[in-house]
Amino acid sequence: MVFSTVLFLFRFLPITLALYYLAPARLKNTVLFLCSLVFYSWGEVRLFPVMAAAILINYTAGLGIERFKDSAAARRGFLLFSIIGSLGMLFFFKYTDFFINNINAVIGTSIPLLRLTLPLGISFYTFQTMSYSIDVYRGDVKAEHNLINFGAYVVMFPQLIAGPIVKYSDVAERLHILKGRVTMDRIDEGISLFIFGLAKKVLLADGISALWYDVIGHDVNGVWEAGVGLSNASTPLVWLSIISYALQIYFDFSGYSMMGIGMGKMLGFDFPDNFNLPYISRSITEFWRRWHITLSSWFKEYVYIPLGGNRKGLTRQLFNIFVVWFLTGFWHGANWNFIFWGLYYCVLLMIEKIWLLPHLKKGKVWPHIYTMLLVIVGWALFVGSDKGVSLGLLLQKLFVPSGGVSPLYFLRNYGALLIVGILCATPLPQKLYEKFKTNTLMRGLVLALIFVVTIAYMVDATNSPFLYFRF
């Protein structure tokens, strides 16, 4: 089920909130758990056992770690049970065919592919459940003894499919507050965040994506609609299209995160921020402090620091950065372009760490240009395995000037929307909102107008799933 659909907005969400608000305090987590199961199973019931297994593995691991707190060997055993069980399912469903393909290519075998369906959200809920077991092992949180409470944490529908990655410690306190969890202030703030997130997705991401799809083509309800084609596009048009993709993925993913955080507020929870205007960054280092914040924090806390972080000298620190970014790339997808994407950022971050960062901090305009140019090239690597895209041809078109279809027609059609998108990726909208948000009437009118316009566009347009659903 997708947030930006009539089914979700006018059926699932209001029914779920009504049941949740009306439920007695001691049953709220049960209602949340059951409604979240309905949300997940709506389009993924066949693979629900994978989700159930992840819940049971880590719930059991947490109890085992706590039960045998005086036995180091037993505690390590339960932790390994959690890590191997969680990662094993992720690797089986997401990476089996990748390794079969590469083995066949290297040694000339013809091992058949399994062609497994990737369970929705498995990359996200695997990291969430593993972080719980690790935190219990470290003593950072107490083990959850109530299976319903733990299940509600794992399958909580606002953040289940595409984040933000919510650690158990982020919601543990609120999960156990039975009375007063939900307040009108939280509901009010949550509605505002949800509406803005929905507008990001429907008005900006989906609108701007049309330019990218006009060039590479697009799958519409199972039918492939061909675009101009990379081979026919001129270099300026390819640059324009990859810029549109950069805006699309930002508004799409940050819009989902904002909606998730908003619904979390409506339910009485405080999810961590996932985006903080990444396109205003003045270095790649800063960019990754602002983009997909919860993923970067997860790798820092559970991979980078345990490996030694920056405590064991520069050489070891660079090795740790390599490991983190190789895993970050591979986490995003079972394809070489994602590994190249991760290593690309690994190299850039190493260069900044060793030499460039002090110079970037002194600059004013050029650091922004440098950062955005490299980020856009990064998105070219990221999108290199999409249907209709050849990574080699895309990079050739970007860096070897060539003729073809002019960008002028697309600038006339999408120029105004691109300008709006660029402005909305800056602090300007937030500054404008701050000026009138204390005026209840004005704020209500603005939110109502945005919501009505968004719904009108949503009803009229073809449903477009969130990009991060496939990761």
C-alpha closest to that of 245 among 203, 206, 289, 198: 206
- Which stretch of DSSP H or E encloses residue 446? helix 440-460
Q: Are the C-beta atoms of 270 and 283 separated by less than 8 Å?
A: no
What is the spatial distance between Cα 139 and Cα 133, in angstroms, rounded to a whole number?
A: 10
What is the spatial distance between Cα 152 and Cα 52, in angstroms, rounded to a whole number?
A: 12
What is the spatial distance between Cα 239 and Cα 442, in angstroms, rounded to a whole number?
A: 40
**Distances from the Cα of 130 to the Cα of 111, 154, 253, 367, angstroms:** 32, 11, 23, 37
Active-site hit among 218, 332, 359, 368: 332
Q: Are the C-beta atoms of 211 and 414 separated by less than 8 Å?
A: yes
Answer yes or no: 332 catalytic.
Answer: yes
What is the spatial distance between Cα 313 and Cα 36, in angstroms, rounded to a whole number?
A: 46
Q: How is residue 180 written in tokens?
A: 């007063």
Query: Which residues, 6+ apart, have CB-to-CB distance to 38 below 8 Å?
Result: 12
Q: Are the C-beta atoms of 196 and 452 separated by less than 8 Å?
A: no
**What positions carry a catalytic annotation?**
332
